[in-house]
Amino acid sequence: MIVGLLVLLLCQLAGELLSRALDLPVPGPVIGMLLLLLVLFVRGERGLPQVERAAEGVLDELPLLFIPAGVGVIGYLGLIRDQWLPVVGGMVGGWAAGLVVTALSAALVVRLQRRRLVAPSGMAEQAGELARDAERMDGYDPEAERR
């Protein structure tokens, strides 16, 4: 787990250094996540099991990170009460934008999978295996289903 945490922190540090050295408008941790993604792509199927274990450990403690945000909301409750319309508008607008981007991304992935430009990540093979298993079941007649 220590090695995994070290890899995560080194990716974040590298991202922070790149962000500051190149004066990029992107936060260092975001660049670090992209670097980690690049490392994982390069490693391929082997992955980084140490990083996976460390990430699972960090994710187990993720709810603790919401406590400061909750305290901040309580601290600014008066301001939020006075400015409720822009706050609600931002929340609804952000939700709607996320929904639209997710839908468009899903539609693009489906279109690319239909063109076979993107591999369907083993789902076709699994569906074929399930179909073959179903054919082996007693009393299954594929011709009866087609009629």
- The whole-number pLDDT of residue 13 equals 96
- The whole-number pLDDT of residue 139 equals 60
pTM: 0.52
Nearest to 10 by CA among 48, 46, 45: 48
Q: Is the pLDDT of residue 135 over 70?
A: no
Task: Tell me how far apart the alpha carbons of residues 104 and 93 are, in angstroms, rounded to a whole number.
Answer: 16
Lowest-pLDDT range of 4-13, 65-74, 135-144: 135-144
